[in-house]
A and B are shown apart, each in its own frame.
Chain A
Amino acid sequence: MTFLPYAVAAWLFVVGLYGIVTSRHLVHLAVCLTVVQSSTYLILLSTGYVRHGSAPIYADIPPVATAVDPVVQALTLTDIVVESTITALLLALAVQAMKRFGSVDPTFLRQLRG
């Protein structure tokens, strides 16, 4: 059972990649990328988890209480912020692709047009 979170993370990564490869819609593609990225949250949070540890917030737990690693949690926050901005950027590009080429199907966007 101690491997389950990692297995889920690996699965999310590969399933997200499958979605990206087979995607027929740029918005769908951006959503698939968020699935890939969510696997990194899972890996980060899983590596920092301490058995029976509480959240690293000492507002209402004794100072000596066992808590999980705050560093990976901070990194996960960074990860989420970056993901949301990248998703927004990709969606903006999808809007522009629709305007320029009249299609959001990646297979129709093979040729570069200046």
Chain B
Amino acid sequence: MLRDTAFSSPAQAGAPDAPRDAPSDGPAAREHRHVFTAMASPNEIVLAGVSQPQAAEACALAEAEIRRIERKYSRYRDDSVISAINARAGRGGVTVDAETAQLLDFAAELHRQSEGLFDLTSGCLRRAWDFKAGREPTPDALAVQLARIGWHRVQWDGRAIALPQAGMEIDFGGIGKEYAADRAIAVLHGLGLRHGFVNLGGDLRVLGPRPDGQPWVFAVRHPRREDEVCARIALSEGALATSGDYERFFITPDGRRCCHILDPRTGQPVRHWQAVSVVAPLCIAAGALATMSMLIGAQAAQRLSMPGVGFLLVDGDGRLQSHDPERLLQHPAPSPP
């Protein structure tokens, strides 16, 4: 359930995405771009319609919120809440704080809605799969990890969580980074800022349109041709998240592509979609829906068809399928100058 996606922001996308109106409102109309690395991703915060000192202060506070969430939920840090829960696997429960409880409730709801496809306990599969070496796991190695998966076996009563078996673990892959983007937006909104976006490694949420009311335009990269754009998505509000099979993968000697998005029931890589991009009001919802779509395969379009959600699916043969009631998706310019 690890996802890595690549987007180019308006600042990177060049001429076709430049604002239609040249900034005319003085220095405050300039865009301020703050770049940093956190959660193992390149991130950026773009603000407009404010002075440079205000933008710098706001970006610092938003970044601090993102780093707080990273510290609290990183599985790589021994002092994180996630590590504390995993360390007690098979040995009893851990009482969690209110924020963690609400995230666990949300994950439980995703598990229920996806009929078990979205599972916080499926991260252990990465122990069986070696993407660096490009080797498929043996059936025995896979069976060991599959036996450790199953959110339905986790004892979660809304206050305390207990993993019933040693070796079982949870992580917030698929929702943690997205939650951080939403929280960063809340920080910026609370400071009175209204124009800009937060992009955490391709999972992004828009604070508000450009100061002239025009939307931000985001380019979605082609899942097979790294330098090409397969769609542009214009957003004045809401969030965009993409899940794809192209970031970490290897090709087996007999030509099968093995990506890092793994089905918790079989332990096997998903194969139906090359990429799924979802537009939704919140980043955490867009991210969860994109991941669930990769996992469910053919039924994704039907499940995603709901008010307030737009999506772009790229199937195994590279064909695009979109549902776009709000007309957010733009086809790429034939030959960008």
Please say whether chains A and B are actual partners in one complex: no
